[in-house]
């Protein structure tokens, strides 16, 4: 129950982040809805298709569809005021990031895949909705450009998951703790402005 509420909050945050990008690109109402949808379910869809879980998740559980349509509608209506909500949005997005990572990892485990693949699936679930959003908006995906800690937090959380699994055995704590590690890493990185080391001599 608790998990499901967090899941829905994450979906809302991702959907709204999609709406904001689409509005920046001056898309029409249909475009805004699709970008909201793709941002929220794109990562999980890619994961499901690659593993072979079909029909993909959002086709089987209608909650996502309703939540996304609702969020998009709400975000468009309040678009003038949504800037005041940016801090809450950032929090939702970070919570979604942590949760989606662990959901992706566990989906991989259920399919019998190796840990390193599961970590990749977790990161994909959390980050690739945003990647597809950026491709549809004709941008180089933001997570490939900024040296920000974003996908890195997912990878770190994924490593922790398997470490904790070894130490504690299969338990809900593993889920919660490794999700928290993603969230805390991300929060600390933004708070203290930490980033990946630059690969280039002189940044423009």
**Given the rule CB under 8 A, which residues bind its own copies?**
22-23, 25-32, 34-35, 45, 49-52, 54-56, 59, 62, 65, 76, 79, 111, 113-114, 116-117, 120, 131, 135-141, 143-148, 150-152, 195-200, 204
**Shortest reach from residue 76's CB to its own copies, in Å:** 6
Separation of alpha carbons 180 and 194, rounded Å: 18
**Shortest reach from residue 72's CB to its own copies, in Å:** 11
**Shortest reach from residue 15's CB to its own copies, in Å:** 15
Nearer to its own copies among residue 116 and residue 188 (C-beta): 116
Separation of alpha carbons 43 and 128, rounded Å: 4
Collapse the DSSP code of 148 into the 3-class scheme (helix H, G, I; strand E, B; otherwise coil) and give the result. strand
Separation of alpha carbons 151 and 137, rounded Å: 20
Residue with tokens 């928290």: 180
Nearer to its own copies among residue 94 and residue 123 (C-beta): 123
Which residues does 16 contact at the CB level (< 8 Å), separation at least 6? Answer: 36, 71, 72, 74, 75, 82, 89, 92
**Shortest reach from residue 190's CB to its own copies, in Å:** 16
């Amino acid at each position: 129950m608790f998990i499901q509420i967090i899941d829905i909050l994450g979906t809302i945050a991702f959907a709204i982040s999609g709406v904001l990008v689409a509005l920046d690109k001056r898309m029409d109402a249909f475009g805004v809805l699709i970008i909201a949808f793709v941002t929220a379910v794109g990562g999980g869809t890619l994961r499901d298709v690659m593993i072979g879980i079909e029909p993909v998740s959002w086709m089987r559980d209608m909650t996502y569809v309703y939540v996304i349509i609702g969020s998009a509608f709400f975000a468009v209506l309040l678009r003038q005021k949504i800037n005041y909500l940016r801090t809450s949005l950032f929090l939702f997005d970070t919570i979604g990031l942590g949760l989606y990572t662990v959901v992706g990892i566990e989906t991989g485990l259920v399919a019998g895949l190796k840990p390193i693949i599961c970590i990749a699936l977790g990161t994909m679930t959390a980050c690739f909705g945003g990647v597809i959003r950026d491709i549809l908006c004709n941008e180089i995906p933001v997570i490939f450009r900024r040296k920000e800690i974003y996908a890195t937090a997912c990878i770190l959380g994924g490593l922790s998951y398997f470490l904790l699994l070894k130490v504690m055995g299969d338990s809900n704590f593993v889920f919660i703790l490794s999700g928290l590690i993603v969230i805390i890493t991300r929060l600390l990185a933004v708070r203290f402005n930490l980033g990946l080391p630059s690969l280039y001599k002189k940044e423009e």
